[in-house]
Amino acid sequence: MTDEAPAVRLRTAEILAEREDGRRRDGAWLLDDVREFVAQFVAFPTQAALDAVTLWAAHSHLVSVGENTPRLALLSPEPGSGKTRTMEVLELLTPSPMFALSASTPATFRSLAKGQRTLLFDEVDAIFGRNGKDDPAEDLRAMLNAGHRRGATIPRCVGPAHDVHEFPVFAAVAMAGLGDLPDTLMSRSVIIRMRKRLPTEMVEPFRRRLHLEAGTELRDRLVEWSGRVAQQVADAWPDMPAGVTDRPADVWEPLLAVADAAGGHWPETARVACRELVKVGESREASLGVKLLGDLRSIFVDTETLSTEVILGKLNSIEESPWGDLRGKPLDPRGLARRLRQYEVRSVKVKVDGTSLQGYRRVDLWDAFCRYLPSVAPNPEPPEPARSAGVVEVPVVDAVPEPWDAVPEPETEVEPVTTIPARDVPKVPEVPLPGKDPRTSDTSCPACGHPPPSIGSFGSIACQHQIAASLAEGGTP
């Protein structure tokens, strides 16, 4: 018994080592370990947000085999919400990270030209805070917009000879900032609304020199695992949750492919996160144009036509609406017309209390309502066009009546005819063959069997033998 103890202990150690090695190689366990590592230092608003960051960290190692890469947008209304801490943790987990607060656009272009990088942009609200044609961040915005698709390049003139160089811009990108990003970037991003943590939400202090080793070990495991599943992810066509289509499907497809390759609970976990965070993206503040359409739909709910003056008065009376103060001025008729023109809606002459005024019709706005606003009915039907006073309405004819439909019905009942009355039709007498008595011509030709001679439309119908017999008897053919 004593001699067997060392062997048992050795075998137990080998089993535990094999189990640990299998755990380290298993994709589901690996993502669990990454998620646990990230959760030590950041209090995310939801479990879905933590799962999405974990999937994105793994996806950053598989960017080169995919068709597109989603941007990770960590946004909050106030500082101190964990955005920068998340970027610091992702720097340890992602391949070739470029963690920058104010990197210039040329420096970013040339860094990507040298090789695949993972871009981590903090405080992007300072970069995209200015607008206009002289905005220095315009090139960076174009790069981030185009770089989500594989093979994307941006041409620029370089060198003293101004040679055109195609800069590759395809790269995994995570961004953190206050407020919202430009709409074009928001539509390409997994949006996570960060918030300040409660005193009851405890996290560990993050110190790079203390946690570098653990982060590096996880990154090395991600590198090894991504190499084994690269082809599987490249060939993947993951099933999307119901209702996730178009751009949201493009955004989440790479992350769901990673989850399917990891296996375990991650395929279902990823789709739960997808459904939740897609709703977060859809709930972001609408543009002024969409807000205007929404307010106009509420104004026109029971009205077919309104004058421009009445519309502006109703818009300004809506509580918390922006129409009374747009850059220090209320919305005027010209501004209303300009904002609606982009939706192919133009003002027309309308009749109000017998007076012709400039205004708008609900039927002209209906197409824009259906295209840009959520439906309020399962099958919305366009309203009938408003008709001006004095216009003669032409009734709609469902079907063109046939001539017999126009015959009036008799006032008295007519008994139906049950028998067909007999008619006296004179009998047509038989026309005999000229020179031949029909009584002697009632047999067929004995030579060839031709029927008896008769008179047809084209004269006598007889064979040669009958004609010869008729001529021999003194008749005419």
Q: Do residue 164 and residue 277 come from a single domain?
A: yes
Q: Which domain holds residue 360?
A: 288-372
Can you name the residues that pair with 167 across neighbouring β-strands? 154
Q: Measured at the alpha carbon of residue 180, what is the angle toward residues 178 and 184, in degrees to the nearest 5?
A: 140
Q: Do residue 325 and residue 270 come from a single domain?
A: no
Looking at residue 398, its pLDDT comes to 47
Kindly state the average pLDDT of the residues 345-359. 88
Can you spell out the DSSP letters for 388-428? -TTPPPPPPPSSPPPGGGGSPPPSS--PPP-SPPP---PPP
Q: Do residue 294 and residue 253 come from a single domain?
A: no
Q: Name the H helices within 283-332.
A: 288-299, 308-317
Amino acid at 154: I
Can you spell out the DSSP letters for 427-451? PPPP-PPTTS-GGG--S--TTT-PP
Kindly state the average pLDDT of the residues 197-209. 91
**pLDDT of 316 over the 90 cut:** no
Looking at residue 182, its pLDDT comes to 83
Specify the pairing of strand 355-361 against strand 305-307.
antiparallel
Looking at residue 157, its pLDDT comes to 85
410 domain-assigned: no
Kindly state the average pLDDT of the residues 268-295. 86
**pLDDT of 358 over the 60 cut:** yes
Q: What stretches of 101-168 adopt beta strand conformation (E)? A: 118-121, 153-158, 163-168
Last residue of a domain, one of 342, 372, 402: 372
384 domain-assigned: no
Looking at residue 74, its pLDDT comes to 95
**pLDDT of 24 over the 90 cut:** no
Looking at residue 377, its pLDDT comes to 55
Of all residues in the chain, what percent carry a pLDDT higher than 90? 40
Q: Do residue 295 and residue 271 come from a single domain?
A: no
114 domain-assigned: yes
381 domain-assigned: no
pLDDT, one tens digit per residue, over 90-126 is: 999 999 999 887 667 778 888 888 888 999 999 888 7
Q: Do residue 305 and residue 274 come from a single domain?
A: no
Looking at residue 73, its pLDDT comes to 94
pLDDT, one tens digit per residue, over 396-437 is: 444 444 444 444 554 545 455 444 455 555 554 554 444 444
**SS3 assignment for 52-66:** HHHHHHHHCCCHHHC
Kindly state the average pLDDT of the residues 310-338. 87
Decide: helix, strand or coil at residue 74: strand
Q: Do residue 296 and residue 333 come from a single domain?
A: yes
Looking at residue 18, its pLDDT comes to 56
Q: Which residue has the higher pLDDT, 424 or 338?
A: 338
Helix (H) or strand (E) holding 361: strand 355-361
Cβ atoms 73, 175 nearer than 8 A: yes
Q: Which residue has the higher pLDDT, 477 or 216?
A: 216
pLDDT, one tens digit per residue, over 30-69 is: 999 999 999 999 999 999 999 999 999 999 999 999 899 9
C-alpha to C-alpha distance for 284 and 369, rounded to whole angstroms: 19
Can you name the residues that pair with 153 across neighbouring β-strands? 168
Task: Output Rg (C-alpha) for the chain, integer angstroms.
Answer: 44
**pLDDT of 88 over the 90 cut:** yes
Residue the block writes with tokens 């272009």? 109
Number of domain units in the chain: 3
C-alpha to C-alpha distance for 337 and 353, rounded to whole angstroms: 23
Cβ atoms 176, 81 nearer than 8 A: no
How does DSSP classify residue 287?
P
Closest CA to 76 of 187, 186, 201, 193: 193
Can you name the residues that pair with 164 across neighbouring β-strands? 157
Looking at residue 474, its pLDDT comes to 57
Looking at residue 104, its pLDDT comes to 72
240 domain-assigned: yes
Q: Do residue 169 and residue 55 come from a single domain?
A: yes
The CATH number of residue 29's host domain is 3.40.50.300
Amino acid at 172: A
415 domain-assigned: no
Q: Do residue 197 and residue 73 come from a single domain?
A: yes
Q: Do residue 95 and residue 153 come from a single domain?
A: yes
Looking at residue 20, its pLDDT comes to 57
Last residue of a domain, one of 352, 372, 392: 372
Of all residues in the chain, what percent carry a pLDDT higher than 70? 74
C-alpha to C-alpha distance for 73 and 175, rounded to whole angstroms: 5
Looking at residue 154, its pLDDT comes to 83
246 domain-assigned: yes
Q: Measured at the alpha carbon of residue 71, what is the angle toward residues 94 and 89, in degrees to the nearest 5?
A: 35
The CATH number of residue 326's host domain is 1.10.10
Grade residue 277 by pLDDT with cuts at 50, 70 and 90: very high
C-alpha to C-alpha distance for 40 and 211, rounded to whole angstroms: 11
**Residues for the chain: how many in total?**
477
Q: Do residue 88 and residue 153 come from a single domain?
A: yes
Grade residue 2 by pLDDT with cuts at 50, 70 and 90: low
Kindly state the average pLDDT of the residues 339-349. 91
Kindly state the average pLDDT of the residues 355-378. 84
387 domain-assigned: no
Q: Do residue 167 and residue 315 come from a single domain?
A: no
Looking at residue 263, its pLDDT comes to 95
Looking at residue 133, its pLDDT comes to 47
Q: Which of 193-197, 211-215, 284-288, 300-304 has the highest mean pLDDT?
A: 211-215
Can you name the residues that pair with 157 across neighbouring β-strands? 164
Looking at residue 98, its pLDDT comes to 92
Side-chain half-sphere CA neighbours of 21 within 13 A: 6
Q: Do residue 449 and residue 314 come from a single domain?
A: no
Q: In angstroms, how far is the first alpha carbon of the chain from the final one?
A: 139
Looking at residue 321, its pLDDT comes to 82
Looking at residue 16, its pLDDT comes to 56
C-alpha to C-alpha distance for 6 and 21, rounded to whole angstroms: 22
Grade residue 14 by pLDDT with cuts at 50, 70 and 90: low
Grade residue 144 by pLDDT with cuts at 50, 70 and 90: confident
When the pLDDT of each residue in the chain is averaged and rounded to a whole number, the result is 80
Q: What stretches of 169-249 adopt beta strand conformation (E)? A: 172-178, 189-193
C-alpha to C-alpha distance for 178 and 80, rounded to whole angstroms: 10
Q: Which residue has the higher pLDDT, 327 or 442?
A: 327
Last residue of a domain, one of 328, 351, 372: 372
Kindly state the average pLDDT of the residues 237-261. 94
Decide: helix, strand or coil at residue 168: strand
C-alpha to C-alpha distance for 405 and 115, rounded to whole angstroms: 82
Amino acid at 168: P
**For residue 343, what are its two tokens?**
């939706």
